[in-house]
Amino acid sequence: MTLRTRRAVFVVAAAVFAGLLLWGFGGLPRFGTFQGAYGLVLNHTAVPERHITDVVTAVNFDYRGFDTLGEEFIFFAAVVGVTVILRAQSDEAPGHIADYAFGRAVPPTSDAVRVLGLGLTPPTILFGLYVIAHGHLTPGGGFQGGVVLATGVLLIYLAGELDDLHGLYTVPALERAEAIGAGAYIAIGLVGLATGSAFLQNVWPLGRVGHLFSAGTVAPIDLAVGLEIGAGLVLLLVTFLHQTIVLRRTP
Contact 188, 224 (CB under 8 A): yes
Answer yes or no whether residue 115 interacts with other proteins by CB under 8 A: no
Shortest distance in whole angstroms from residue 165 CB to other proteins:
18
Query: In Å, how far are 19, 37, 161, 192 from 6, measured between CA atoms?
Result: 20, 44, 43, 54
Nearest to 51 by CA among 212, 199, 197: 212
Shortest distance in whole angstroms from residue 166 CB to other proteins:
21
Q: Report the site for other proteins in 146-205 (rule: CB under 8 A).
A: none
Q: Using CB under 8 A, which of 125, 132, 133, 137 touches other proteins?
A: 137
Distance between CA atoms of residues 213 and 90, nearest Å: 51
Shortest distance in whole angstroms from residue 167 CB to other proteins:
25
Answer yes or no whether residue 23 interacts with other proteins by CB under 8 A: no
Distance between CA atoms of residues 163 and 109, nearest Å: 14
Q: Using CB under 8 A, which of 127, 201, 243, 246 touches other proteins?
A: 243
Task: Give the CA diameter of the chain.
Answer: 67
Answer yes or no whether residue 224 interacts with other proteins by CB under 8 A: no
Contact 219, 65 (CB under 8 A): no
Answer yes or no whether residue 6 interacts with other proteins by CB under 8 A: yes
CB within 8 Å of 127: residues ≥ 6 apart: 148
Residues that bind other proteins (rule: CB under 8 A) add up to a total of: 59
Nearest to 47 by CA among 208, 191, 227, 221: 208
Answer yes or no whether residue 21 interacts with other proteins by CB under 8 A: yes
Binding site for other proteins (CB under 8 A): 3, 6-7, 9-10, 14, 17-18, 21, 25, 28-36, 38-40, 42-44, 46-48, 53-56, 58-60, 64, 67-68, 71, 74-75, 77-79, 81-82, 85-86, 137-139, 143, 210, 236, 239-240, 243-244, 249
